[in-house]
């Protein structure tokens, strides 16, 4: 039962077009079209400094000329190792303007990781901040091609008062740049920009950007995504948002630009729709709360841990959040209990919206499925985006299963990747042509679909715990544990056991006001016994003040697994 939200009996999104006209334009061309339509609107703001769409397009063209003067040509790859800052956004679109490919990586990546990304992408240049010079320079020295190092500075994008304050505080925390010719300042590159740009003849179907994911095997792979993929995602997201026109609306762009969620939704979708990106380079709950109070963003995309932090902040008690028009959770599974807690929080603060859970993979840029407006089914990740089809198959096959039956989630639609970078074998395993003639992305995720087309995510196939011959899905146990009044959030892992193969351990962060103790542990275990099958019961609960997170804010369950394996 392959279903799409374009099916005539599905109208849960409300004013949802049955199909969308996807223009055969590049990322740059579609945003330039928006710029022509809304030149005076603010494209992004950074540290209270606003940049209009007209100014933004001029900045893109200037950056494109700078890159072209440095010898970057069509098909060349350039790594962007930056936080959410104006230079990173400008560079992303400038590369697309000249037909080059952006290679997006996290600025907090370790030296060896950066070397890996430079090598696998064959990058000709890398843009990063001055504070990361040391490790990036070392990574370049270890790399195969020794790409050009471009250095940007946060203070270059600040107003004069903030620039002075930055120089007296933040700038002193990092070593000064050497004067040895080992890099070029981004500002100098802009000064030396070429006089003219080549013809704007980019092809929508060609690789525009490389993002990274573990894929279905857990090993890091580059994901080649086209302009068509990014533009389809943006138009689908706007259609699913419930608003015909998002121009002038504010997007809190807190998710990092190296990640599909941050880049595809937090930035590109907003810019395609004429929205305003509030660029957030460094996340903290204090900054987050301050932005909500002062900026009144209309849309907030984030991972579950961001919304957990929202519940914990004391700085929002009296804030009227009626300005919110969309709150979207993705990147990780949102438990039913956390959704209910966030919904209650929003209602208490005057918001008329509920949190909407999305689902997707980096192989689809990001989201391709979303909870409809004001219509959630507990445990469901929603229904497919327009023109996107989901079906559930028996893992390891192309055999579709019946409704309500668990299997592997497969996706077909306009945002599905071109393939894995220089990895045809893995691409062939993941993108498969089925008997219906469609190319289907095999996600490696377990889930099911009900008769109405609502999709339910269960677990990554790799994360399933097998104990005493039984299959146990950690997210289901976490959902139960999170339902306890004293629990903020939890993580469940499998620990090696000579008898059961794996036994189950839970890590728990308690809500503010509750202190870990043996009494609380026994209370939680008793709570679990009433709700969890005996074979799936945790043998132990360990309390933590915080749980380790991945670079995008997900709970890093693999870190906990490694800790237990080393004991």
CA distance 456 to 446: 9
Determine the topology of domain 48-162+178-203 in CATH.
Answer: Rossmann fold (3.40.50)
pLDDT at position 3, please? 52
pLDDT bracket for residue 214 (50, 70, 90): low
Q: How confident is the model at residue 215 (pLDDT cuts 50, 70, 90)?
A: low
Look at residue 218 in the predicted model and tell me its pLDDT.
Answer: 55
User: Looking at residue 497, what is its pLDDT?
Assistant: 82
Judge if 3-22+213-459 and 465-565 fold alike in CATH terms.
no
| CA distances, 429 to each of 212, 218, 409 (Å) | 17, 14, 14
The predicted-structure confidence for 447-460, as pLDDT tens digits, reads as follows 999 998 899 998 77
Cα 174-176-182 angle, rounded to 5 deg: 120
Q: CA-CA distance, 89 to 372, in Å (whole number)? A: 30
The pair of structure tokens assigned to 461 is 């196939």
For residue 4, what pLDDT is reported? 45
pLDDT digits (tens, 9 = 90+) for 266-286: 999 999 999 999 999 987 888
User: What residue ranges do the domains of the chain occupy?
Assistant: 3-22+213-459, 48-162+178-203, 465-565
Question: If pLDDT is split at 50, 70 and 90, which confidence band does 2 have?
Answer: low
The rounded mean pLDDT for the chain is: 91
Q: In the prediction, which pLDDT does 127 show?
A: 98
User: 18 pLDDT band (50/70/90 cuts)?
Assistant: low
CATH dotted code for 3-22+213-459:
3.40.50.12780
Q: What's the pLDDT tens digit per position in 485-517?
A: 999 999 999 998 876 778 999 999 999 999 999
DSSP state of 269: I
Q: Mean of the pLDDT values across residues 383-391?
A: 93
Q: What is the structure's pLDDT at 154?
A: 94
Predicted local confidence at residue 368, as pLDDT: 93
Whether 26 shows a pLDDT value over 60: the answer reads yes
Q: How confident is the model at residue 6 (pLDDT cuts 50, 70, 90)?
A: very low
Question: What was the pLDDT predicted at 9?
Answer: 32
Nearest Cα neighbor of 416 from 397, 446, 438, 447 is 438
Residue 168, φ and ψ in degrees, nearest 5: -85, -15
Strand partners for 46: 49
pLDDT value at residue 5: 40
**Alpha-carbon separation of residue 423 from 220, 396, 419, 428, 430 (angstroms):** 11, 20, 8, 9, 11
Mean of pLDDT values over 294-311? 90
pLDDT tens for 329-365 read: 987 778 888 899 999 999 999 999 999 999 999 999 9
Cβ count near 97 (within 10 Å): 25
Q: How many C-beta neighbours within 10 Å does residue 191 have? A: 11
Asked whether the predicted pLDDT for residue 439 surpasses 50, the reply is yes
CA–CA dist 139, 117 (Å, integer):
10
233/270 Cα distance (integer angstroms): 11
Specify the range with the lowest mean pLDDT, choosing from 64-68, 227-231, 312-316. Answer: 312-316
Question: Which DSSP string do the residues of 251-267 spell out, in sequence order?
Answer: EEE-S-TTSHIIIIIII
User: Under CATH, which architecture does the 465-565 domain have?
Assistant: 2-Layer Sandwich (3.30)
What's this model's pTM, rounded to 2 decimal places? Answer: 0.86
**Mean of pLDDT values over 173-193:** 94
């Amino acid at each position: 039962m392959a279903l799409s939200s374009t099916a005539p009996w599905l109208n849960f999104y409300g004013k949802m077009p049955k199909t969308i006209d996807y223009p055969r334009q590049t990322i740059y061309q579609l945003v330039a079209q928006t710029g022509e339509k809304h030149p005076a609107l603010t494209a992004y703001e950074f540290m209270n400094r606003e940049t209009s769409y007209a100014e933004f397009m001029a900045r893109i063209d200037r950056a494109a000329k700078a890159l072209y003067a440095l010898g970057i040509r069509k098909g060349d790859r350039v790594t962007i190792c930056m936080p959410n800052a104006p230079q990173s956004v400008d560079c992303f679109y400038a590369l697309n303007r000249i037909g080059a490919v952006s290679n997006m990586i996290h600025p907090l990546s370790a030296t060896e990781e950066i070397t890996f990304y430079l090598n696998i992408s064959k990058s000709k240049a890398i843009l990063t901040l001055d504070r990361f010079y040391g490790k990036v320079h070392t990574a370049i020295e270890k790399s195969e091609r020794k790409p050009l190092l471009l250095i940007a500075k946060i203070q270059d994008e600040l107003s004069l008062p903030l620039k002075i304050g930055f120089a007296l505080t933040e700038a002193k925390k990092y070593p000064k740049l050497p004067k040895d010719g080992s890099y070029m300042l981004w500002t100098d590159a802009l000064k030396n920009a070429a006089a003219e740009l080549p013809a704007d003849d980019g092809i929508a179907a060609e690789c525009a950007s490389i993002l990274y994911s573990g894929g279905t095997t857990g090993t890091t792979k580059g994901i080649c995504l086209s302009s068509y993929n990014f533009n389809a995602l943006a138009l689908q997201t706007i259609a699913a948002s419930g608003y015909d026109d998002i121009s002038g609306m504010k997007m809190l762009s807190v998710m990092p630009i190296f990640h599909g969620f941050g880049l595809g939704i937090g930035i590109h979708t907003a810019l395609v729709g004429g929205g305003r990106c509030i660029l957030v380079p460094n996340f903290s709950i204090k900054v987050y709360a301050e932005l909500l109070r002062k900026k009144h963003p209309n849309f907030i995309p984030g991972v579950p841990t961001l919304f957990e932090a929202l519940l914990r902040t004391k700085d929002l008690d009296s804030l009227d959040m009626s300005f919110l028009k969309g709150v979207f959770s993705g990147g990780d599974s949102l438990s039913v209990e956390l959704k209910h807690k966030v919904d209650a929080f929003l209602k208490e603060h005057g918001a008329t919206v509920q949190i909407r859970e999305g689902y997707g993979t980096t192989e689809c840029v990001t989201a391709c499925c979303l909870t409809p407006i004001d219509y959630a089914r507990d445990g469901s990740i929603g229904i497919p985006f327009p023109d996107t089809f989901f079906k559930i198959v028996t893992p390891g096959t192309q055999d579709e299963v019946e409704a309500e039956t668990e299997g592997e989630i497969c996706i077909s639609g306009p945002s599905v990747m071109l393939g894995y970078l220089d990895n045809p074998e893995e691409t062939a395993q993941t993108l498969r042509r089925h008997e219906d003639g469609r190319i289907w992305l095999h996600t490696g995720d377990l889930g099911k679909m009900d008769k109405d087309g609502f999709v339910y995510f269960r677990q990554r196939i790799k994360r399933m715990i097998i104990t005493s011959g039984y299959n146990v899905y950690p997210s289901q146990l976490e959902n139960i544990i999170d339902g306890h009044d004293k629990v903020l959030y939890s993580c469940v892992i499998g620990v090696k056991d000579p008898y059961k193969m794996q036994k189950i351990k839970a890590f728990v962060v308690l809500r503010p006001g509750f202190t870990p103790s043996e009494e609380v542990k026994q209370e939680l275990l008793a709570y679990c016994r009433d709700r969890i099958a005996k074979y799936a019961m945790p043998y132990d609960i360990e309390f933590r003040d915080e749980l380790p997170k991945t670079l995008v804010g997900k709970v890093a369950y693999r870190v906990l697994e490694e800790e237990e394996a080393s004991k």
